[in-house]
């Protein structure tokens, strides 16, 4: 499977912040004084400028279908989330942006962790975990396996419109699984796949212990960042890349909103100190979402430029 850019007319790239940004092009701001947090540059134009950076990084990447794919994907993901935030903010729907902002933050953490050290190894760990994730999902819906049979039974009971895969689609499903396994069997992936399976076997062994058996038996796949003695969770990852404070002050509050346990974005205090719900399209939170998107994109862009774009082109 190729992760290449579709064949389209190439855009001219003019540097990390394209001169096509109207605020700069029209002389509102001098490039030497460019401040990406300055809201005179519309967020839509700012995201478009970062889009140019992505395609430059894509063209400079030596292995866009291999070890460079995780970085390109994570950066691309950040840009798509930022674009969605811009759409919501333009409609004064800032209250819906926290899931997107948290997703951007998680992608930034992963991107920075991969670039911190052992770039190729960590990139292959990310790819290995992705392949196993795809295999697990596809095997889950195969009714010829024991796990697949259990899933089909539960899905039939719980999902009224669920239907088992037909013969043709089942054949395609199995071919897809074989192709994914073939990727894991490549020499460059053997070491990471062995490490992944070691962690996976340890997790399954722990689940067989008496105390563990008393609990619901769901054994998640190993996280890519745990391989080869890596970090156990997102906070440890943030700490390793020097962004633990950002995790505490942004990730935790954003997560509370995502999980529906933080009423603050929807409630305000009236003059008599009583609480009331905000109206739909209330402008509260627009400034935060705007600045958060710009900050995260700048941080991600800096990592990508240092990795992929020659110094004399930046």
Ordered DSSP codes for the chain? ---PPPS-PPPP--SSS-TTSHHHHTTSS-GGG--TT-TTS-HHHHHHHHHHHHHHHHHH-S-TTTTTHHHHHHHHHHHHHHHHHHHHHHTT-GGG-HHHHHHHHHHHHHHHHHHHS-HHHHHHHHHHHHHHHHHHHHHHT-TTSHHHHHHHHHHHHH-TT--PPPHHHHHHHHHHHHHHHHHHTSGGGHHHHHHHHHHHHHHHHHHTSHHHHTS----PPPPGGGTTT--SSHHHHHHHTT-HHHIIIIIHHHHHHHTT---GGGEEE-TTS-EEEPPTT--TTHHHHHHHHHHHHHHHHHHHHHHHS-GGG-
| Cα–Cα distance, 57 to 211 (Å, whole number) | 49
Tell me the C-alpha to C-alpha distance, in Å, between residue 256 and each of 150, 233, 286: 34, 17, 18
Rounded-to-integer distance, Cα 309 and Cα 80, Å = 21
How far out from the chain centre does Cα 221 lie?
17
Query: Quick check: 29 and 41 in contact, CB under 8 A?
Result: yes
**What number is the average pLDDT over the span 157-161?**
88
From the list 253, 314, 298, 254, the residue with the least C-alpha distance to 108 is 298
Residue range 81-92: mean pLDDT, rounded: 97
pLDDT band at 36; cut points 50, 70, 90: low
Q: What is the pLDDT of residues 219-270, one digit of tens each?
A: 899 999 999 999 999 999 999 999 999 999 999 999 999 999 999 889 988 8
Residue-wise pLDDT tens digits, 165-220: 776 788 888 999 999 999 999 999 999 999 999 999 999 888 887 665 556 567 89
What b-and-e string marks burial along 26-35, b requiring 16 or more CB atoms within 10 Å of the CB? eeebeeeeee
**Span 282-292, mean pLDDT?**
92
- The dihedral sign for the CA sequence 226, 229, 232, 236: negative
pLDDT greater than 80 at residue 13: no
62-66, 123-127, 139-143: segment of lowest average pLDDT? 139-143
Token duo for residue 265: 């974005």
**pLDDT value at position 218?**
78
Q: Using pLDDT thresholds of 50, 70 and 90, give the confidence band for residue 91.
A: very high
Domain boundaries along the sequence of the chain: 22-120+232-265+279-313, 123-226
Question: Which is nearest to 193 in space by CA: 179, 209, 182, 205?
Answer: 182
- The pTM (predicted TM-score) of the whole model is 0.84
Q: Are 247 and 235 in contact (CB under 8 A)?
A: yes
Answer whether 134's CB lies under 8 Å from 180's CB.
yes
Among the listed ranges 23-37, 80-94, 131-145, 194-208, which one has the minimum average pLDDT value? Answer: 23-37
pLDDT value of position 313:
58
Region 7-20 average pLDDT: 36
The whole-number pLDDT of residue 31 equals: 38
């Amino acid at each position: 499977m190729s992760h290449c850019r579709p064949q389209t007319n190439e855009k001219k790239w003019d540097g990390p912040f394209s001169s096509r940004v109207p605020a700069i092009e029209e002389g509102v701001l001098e490039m030497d004084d460019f401040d990406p947090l300055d809201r005179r540059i519309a967020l839509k134009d700012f995201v478009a400028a970062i889009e140019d950076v992505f395609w430059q990084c894509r063209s400079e990447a030596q292995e866009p279908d291999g070890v460079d794919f995780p970085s390109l994907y994570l950066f691309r993901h950040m840009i798509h989330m930022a674009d969605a935030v811009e759409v919501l903010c333009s409609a004064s729907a800032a209250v819906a942006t926290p899931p997107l902002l948290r997703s951007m933050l998680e992608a930034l953490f992963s991107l920075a962790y991969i670039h911190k050290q052992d770039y190729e190894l960590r990139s292959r760990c990310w790819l290995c975990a992705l392949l196993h994730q795809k295999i697990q999902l596809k095997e889950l819906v195969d009714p010829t396996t024991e796990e697949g049979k259990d899933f089909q039974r539960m899905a039939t009971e719980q999902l009224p419109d669920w239907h088992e895969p037909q013969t043709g689609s089942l054949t395609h499903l199995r071919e897809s699984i074989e192709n994914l396994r073939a990727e894991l069997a490549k020499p460059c992936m053997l070491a990471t796949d062995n490490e992944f399976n070691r962690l996976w076997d340890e997790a399954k062994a722990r689940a067989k212990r008496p105390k563990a058996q008393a609990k619901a038996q769901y054994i998640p796949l190993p996280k890519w960042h745990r391989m080869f003695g890596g970090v156990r969770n997102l906070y440890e990852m943030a700490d390793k890349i020097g962004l633990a404070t950002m995790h505490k002050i942004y990730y935790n509050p954003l997560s509370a909103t995502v999980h529906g346990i933080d009423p603050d974005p929807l409630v305000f205090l009236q003059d008599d100190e009583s609480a009331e719900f905000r109206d739909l399209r209330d402008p509260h939170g627009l400034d935060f979402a705007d600045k958060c998107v710009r900050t995260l994109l700048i941080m991600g862009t800096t990592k990508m430029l240092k990795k992929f774009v020659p110094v004399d082109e930046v």
